[in-house]
Amino acid sequence: MRYFAIINYGDRKHSTQRTLKAMQRVFERRGKECVFNLSKSIQHSAELIERASAEKFDAILIGGGDGTVNSILNLTMGKNFVLGVLPLGTVNALAQTIGMPNNPVKACEAIIDARPRLLTLGRVNDRYFLCFASIGFDAATVHRVSPKIKRALRNVAFGLAGVWQLTQLKDLCQFKATYFPDGKTETAYSLIISNLPIYAGFRMFRALPYRSRMELYLFKNNRLRNYFKYFTGLAITRGQLEKLLPDVTRTFVERVEVKSSHRMFLQLDGEPYTIDDDKHYEFVVIRKAVKLLVPPRVKKTSRLKSARKSSH
């Protein structure tokens, strides 16, 4: 397999020449071809992907966080690439879910040993997402964090923005969500639809990207005290919040239609997005829609045996 790596230049911590050379040496030592490229913009990434397609590379390796994965995913749809993830971002929820090492050099080793696996995708209107999407409080929080502040403060930036957003709840509008296959319609102020168990750096959900449905949460109350209950409960209960709070709906869905008379905040894979029709969103779950390089799972017994050997 021939690899073509696109590294998000915005992540200066991991885009140093020293780190890139160490990553390149992994492929050279293993006898694999990998061309590393630093991308400075979405347009630049699009040009690099066209080059990879023209030169008939097999796999696009995405160096960045979940937002970078989203950008490259949308640029490569329909081009028949296998995708791989080099976790260089803030949370790296997708990489954590599939068992990719957080160290970029070790991640290159894991990529070479990985095998393609078909994953479920989400689409909202004409935009794809692989990790998660949200409307309401969470999305409004993401919209408040600039790329510069995000690079400087990382997870802290979202925490501070979330606290500020709690003082601006009047900005959130009520909407109606109809979800399938249940066919039910409910009124809510916030929504999260997830393809992964990890969200905001915590293991909150039961969703997995190998399943045919995504996990939906509807938050039907817009009071300050309720948001503290919502997110504290998600972190503690890990996917059973609806048992504690009656104003929360949790289910697994194939499609969700959301309508409002006002503009709704939207985030996809941890990044803010504005879609033309921001008063009507249709989320669709697409099974087996993208090939991702997933490292082989290491059994716990194997890890225990290795640890015992090293201790003697």
pLDDT of 247-305, one tens digit each?
A: 889 999 999 999 999 999 999 999 999 887 789 999 999 999 999 999 987 443 333 34
- Taking alpha carbons only, the member of 3, 21, 101 closest to residue 61 is 3
What pTM value is reported for the model? 0.87
Q: What is the pLDDT at residue 304?
A: 32
* 256 three-state secondary structure: strand
Q: How far apart are CA 138 and CA 227, in angstroms?
A: 10
Average pLDDT over residues 129-145: 93
Contact 83, 76 (CB under 8 A): yes
Q: What is the pLDDT at residue 235?
A: 64
Contact 213, 254 (CB under 8 A): yes
Domain ranges within the chain, ordered by starting residue = 3-113, 127-286
* 94 three-state secondary structure: helix
CATH topology of domain 3-113: Rossmann fold (3.40.50)
Kindly give the pairing relationship between strand 59-64 and strand 3-8.
parallel
- Residue 51 phi/psi, 5-degree rounding, is -65, -45
Is the pLDDT higher at 302 or at 114? 114
Q: What is the DSSP string of 14-45?
A: T-SHHHHHHHHHHHHHTT--EEEEEE-SHHHH
Q: What is the pLDDT at residue 196?
A: 96
pLDDT higher than threshold 70 for residue 11: no
pLDDT of 24-81, one tens digit each?
A: 999 999 999 999 999 989 999 999 999 999 999 999 999 999 999 999 999 999 999 9
Contact 43, 68 (CB under 8 A): no
Percent of the chain with pLDDT over 70: 89
The token pair at 149 is 């502040």
Q: What is the pLDDT at residue 10?
A: 67
Percent of the chain with pLDDT over 90: 68
Q: What is the pLDDT at residue 243?
A: 65
CATH of 127-286, one of 3.90.800.10, 1.10.357.10, 2.60.200.40, 2.40.160.20: 2.60.200.40
Long-range Cβ contact pairs of 245-251 (< 8 A, separation 24 or more): 247/219, 247/220, 247/221, 248/217, 248/218, 248/219, 248/220, 249/186, 249/188, 249/216, 249/217, 249/218, 249/220, 250/215, 250/216, 250/217, 250/218, 251/179, 251/182, 251/215, 251/216
